[in-house]
Amino acid sequence: MIARYQGKTMAKLFSLENRYQAFLDVELAVLKAYEAFKIVPEGTYETTRKKARLNLERLTEIEKTTKHDVVAFTRQISETLGEEKRFFHYKLTSTDVVDTAQALIIKAANDVIIAGLENFIQSLENKAKQYKMTPCIGRTHGIHAEVTSFGLKLAYHIDIFKRLEKKFLISKANLEVGKISGAVGNHAHVTAEIQDDVCAHLKIKSANISTQVIARDRHADYLSMVAQIGSALENLAVEIRHLSRSEVGEVEEGFSKGQKGSSAMPHKKNPIASENITGCARMLRGYMQMAFENITLWHERDISHSSVERVALSDAITLLDYMLRRFTKVIEQLVVHESQMIKNIHLTKGLVFSQKILHALIDKNVSRDEAYDIVQPLALKAKAEDSDFQTLLKANETIKAYLNRQEIEACFNYLDDLKHVDTLFKRVGIL
């Protein structure tokens, strides 16, 4: 991942040095289990733990000859050991180490993602509470529909992210899995009990069964969840982008002192962070597709998935971390123009209250079809002539036969549309 999108924590977690440190952690956990099962002499684990030293420069030099990173790793570590080196990587195959180490790294990264997601949800909740009863126009198909509240808009997204968090916890647990099962997964050299012991020590799950690798449906499911969270962020980002348009002007991203919106136009204040989130979400969906391609491997394993995962897993997780951190700031610093929201409610001169008139007629024993056919021509006339809808209604003889002036005016009270906001907030769990 390029430095622009990489936070310090993720940079460290997915560094080459940390990858090999995770390899070493797995190897040491195996030796500890071997001692418990009396497979290696007592003291082998402790001696190896104290003496083993990772030297990335030396490891890289060895790899130039071996053309195999795990072999280079085992040889470099062995150079720092004495007699006990004969038990280092004993009875293991490369992927016992690689897949289990990868689970350790992703587990640590997942803790960061969960914290970021919870922080983002909290920022949404804070903003939703602040604008809980702020009226704004709701739009369907991009066209003014009926009045809602800005807080309710945000509550809808909060519900999505809370649901995605629950699904992510399940998905991440299914990926935080290790295997110490050998070259074809049959435990010919290392028993399943030892695998269980190793994974328990490393605080990850132990695979029920594997080939030389952990089944890649786990990774596909995980990156699917990463992409879903990214797409949900994009969903909200697109909402902010639309509401930021000059013709709408209901919100805008925070604009810091000295910030520039355009190299050519000094007046510009663009929703660049939200646009960035859209682009990042596209990348996440691309990584998801790669993960699905990786599900299919030859027999007990081929290496076609390896190159994909070296890039896709670290990049996708790093990118999601970046998106959560950046978009949290967008929400926290979001400027909400409440007066513009009120102005936009009245932009169509009352047309958005047509359904209330429809229902008022139905309540007067007019059939739904007849009521619709009474209201629609008046609404379309008001739109075509850019005239006031309420004025047209009050002047129409058919409408006056059913509704008096007070009943018509009551239909244009937009605050009445917000009477269930409290109920919906409680259902979402916003207290």
Residues acting as catalytic residues: 141, 262
Q: Are 353 and 273 in contact (CB under 8 A)?
A: no
Instruction: Kindly give, in sequence order, each residue whose CB lies less than 8 Å from that of residue 339, ignoring residues fewer than 6 positions away.
Output: none
If 0-12 CB within 10 Å is exposed, 13-18 middle and 19+ buried, where does residue 57 land?
Answer: exposed
Q: Are 74 and 81 in contact (CB under 8 A)?
A: no
Count other Cβ atoms within 10 Å, centred on residue 193.
Answer: 13
Helices H / strands E in the chain, number of each = 18, 6
Count other Cβ atoms within 10 Å, centred on residue 299.
Answer: 8
* DSSP at 53: -
The CA–CA distances, whole Å, from 190 to 47, 90, 209, 265, 390 equal 22, 10, 13, 67, 81
* DSSP at 350: T
CA angle, residues 329, 333, 338, in degrees to nearest 5: 140
Q: Are 354 and 389 in contact (CB under 8 A)?
A: yes
Count other Cβ atoms within 10 Å, centred on residue 413.
Answer: 11
Residue with tokens 């910030």: 259
